[in-house]
């Protein structure tokens, strides 16, 4: 698979992105947006607030790519130097744009304030440049053609960048780069390590071939990304083959999260759910309720972190805890039926495990987790042995619980 000839060069400007003060989230957001257009990102450069460095990044970008997008360095202070960097790259002067200056004054006046002198800098542009309006803030953007390649300057404040990308910048960049990148299909899987998924994919499609694969480890599992050239048919065929082969592990085709898949099926069935959580201590309930509208299906639950809460709030017999321990198939089943009975829901979902770092024994190592589901049919339980740290083990425990419910609900994802 060859890369499309030319796409976008990204330049992120700011000392704060390189000294740990601020994490760069703009580049990931722009990559996502350009990818959605099926455009390519050719390169990404993060440079400090320095005229020569900004100019060099713009020149390199415009030599290699069909468009350059610069984010940051448009503020009113003396270390905001993207305008100056562009002017040096273009070998043009910066001139005061009187219309822009009037608009800035007007913006401040509407907020009942006088424009600080420092903001005058934001009314400068290259001689041949064109301002890009900013609906969210004071920093105007700038469009400049450098040997025919559009260079788009946008502010680094994420909300302003997003609004200006959507209103203006995407319209400049999209016609030049859209459709050059490979077509793609995403299969979202649970309960398979990345290497096992890759082996299964290689076995199904053969190694090499026309379909490139990417594996993205996400919160609750591994996403398989299939990339094909311009042949939609190849992609459809590979998707169908893999969906058949991997069916029990694929919870969605496309973007839907595991929690959304489960909640939407409950809403469709008009069924209700409650949870009983020990090691996850609320993460499962917190996750299910990310889905807007989940309140019609999700009733609530009990965080039974201490054993006394398992006994008193869920009715787990003290004897059972003494005989089998709180991390056991028996405890998980009793928690699931207990919460289902007490909250009077169609389904009761329970998690109990040893997240670590403490609490392990020889028989029950860190990462051992039981999930159980009580419902209209027989109660089911499943054991996992997670190899992660406390945070990972708890997240994977949520995934194991959600996925047990998903399989009980017999959800079948389909190709678009």
Question: Residues 328 to 367: which contact its own copies by CB under 8 A?
Answer: 342-343, 356-359
* Shortest Å, Cβ 187 to its own copies: 13
Q: Which of 145, 174, 225, 253 binds its own copies (CB under 8 A)?
A: 225
Q: Which of 13, 45, 69, 332 binds its own copies (CB under 8 A)?
A: 45
Q: Is 387 in the site for its own copies (CB under 8 A)?
A: no
Q: Interface with its own copies by CB under 8 A: which range of 83-91, 213-221, 229-237, 379-387?
A: 213-221
The three state secondary structure string of the chain is: CCCCCCCEEEEEECHHHHCCCCCCCHHHHHHHHHHHCCCCEEEEEEECCCHHHHHHHHHHHHHHCCEEEEECCCCCCCCCCHHHHHHHHHCCCEEECHHHHHHHHHHHHHCCCCCCHHHHHHHEEECCCEEECCCCCCCCEEEEEECCEEEEEECCCHHHHHHHHHHHHHHHHHHHHCCCCCEEEEEEECCCCHHHHHHHHHHHHCCCCCCEEEEEEECCEEEEEEEECCCHHHHHHHHHHHHHHHHHHEEEECCCCHHHHHHHHHHHHCCCEEEEECCCCCHHHHHHCCCCCHHHCEEEEEECCCHHHHHHHHCCCHHHHHHHCCCCHHHHHHHHHHHHHHHCCCEEEEEEECCCCCCCCCCCCCCEEEEEEECCCCCEEEEEECCCCHHHHHHHHHHHHHHHHHHHCCCCCCCC
Q: Which of 247, 308, 385, 415 binds its own copies (CB under 8 A)?
A: 308
CB closer to its own copies, 28 vs 96: 28
Q: Is 228 in the site for its own copies (CB under 8 A)?
A: no
Binding residues among 95-134 for its own copies as defined by CB under 8 A = none
Q: Is 286 in the site for its own copies (CB under 8 A)?
A: yes
Q: Is 42 in the site for its own copies (CB under 8 A)?
A: yes
Q: Interface with its own copies by CB under 8 A: which range of 38-46, 107-115, 146-154, 256-264?
A: 38-46
Binding residues among 48-67 for its own copies as defined by CB under 8 A = 48, 50, 53, 56, 60, 64
Binding residues among 231-260 for its own copies as defined by CB under 8 A = none
* Shortest Å, Cβ 237 to its own copies: 21
């Amino acid at each position: 698979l060859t890369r499309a000839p030319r796409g976008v060069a990204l330049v992120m400007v700011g000392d704060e992105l390189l000294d740990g003060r601020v994490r760069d989230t703009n580049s990931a957001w722009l990559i996502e947006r350009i990818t959605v257009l099926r455009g390519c990102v050719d390169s990404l450069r993060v440079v400090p607030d320095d005229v020569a460095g900004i100019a060099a990044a713009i020149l390199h970008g415009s030599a290699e790519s069909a468009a350059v997008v610069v984010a940051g360095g448009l503020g009113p202070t003396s270390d905001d130097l993207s305008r100056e960097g562009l002017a040096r790259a273009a070998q043009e002067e910066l001139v005061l744009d009187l219309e822009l200056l009037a608009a800035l004054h007007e913006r401040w006046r509407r907020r009942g304030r006088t424009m600080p002198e420092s903001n005058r800098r934001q009314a400068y542009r290259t001689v041949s440049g064109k301002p890009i309006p900013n609906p969210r803030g004071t920093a105007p953007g700038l469009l400049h053609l450098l040997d025919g390649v559009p260079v788009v300057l946008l502010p680094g404040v994420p909300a302003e960048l997003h609004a200006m990308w959507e209103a203006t910048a995407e319209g400049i960049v999209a016609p030049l780069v859209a459709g050059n990148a490979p077509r793609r299909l995403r299969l979202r899987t649970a309960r398979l390590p990345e290497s096992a998924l890759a082996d299964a994919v290689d076995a199904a499609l053969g190694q090499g071939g026309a379909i490139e694969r990417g594996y993205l480890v996400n919160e609750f599992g591994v996403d398989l990304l299939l990339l094909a050239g311009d042949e939609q048919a190849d992609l459809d065929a590979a998707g169908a083959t893999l969906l058949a082969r991997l069916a029990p592990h694929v919870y969605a085709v496309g973007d839907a999260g595991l929690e959304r898949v489960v909640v939407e099926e409950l809403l469709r069935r008009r069924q209700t759910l409650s949870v009983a959580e020990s090691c996850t201590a609320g993460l499962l309930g917190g996750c299910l309720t990310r889905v807007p509208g989940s309140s019609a299906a999700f009733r609530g639950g009990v965080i039974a972190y201490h054993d006394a809460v398992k006994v008193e709030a869920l009715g787990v017999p003290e004897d059972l805890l003494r005989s089998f321990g709180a991390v056991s198939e028996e405890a998980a089943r009793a928690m699931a039926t207990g919460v289902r009975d007490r909250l009077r829901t169609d389904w009761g979902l329970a998690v109990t495990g040893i997240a670590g770092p403490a609490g392990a024994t020889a028989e029950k190592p860190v990462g051992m987790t039981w999930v159980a589901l009580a419902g209209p049919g027989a109660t089911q339980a499943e054991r996992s042995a997670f190899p992660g740290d406390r945070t990972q083990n708890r997240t994977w425990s949520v995934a194991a619980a959600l996925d047990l419910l998903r399989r009980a609900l017999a959800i079948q994802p389909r190709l678009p």
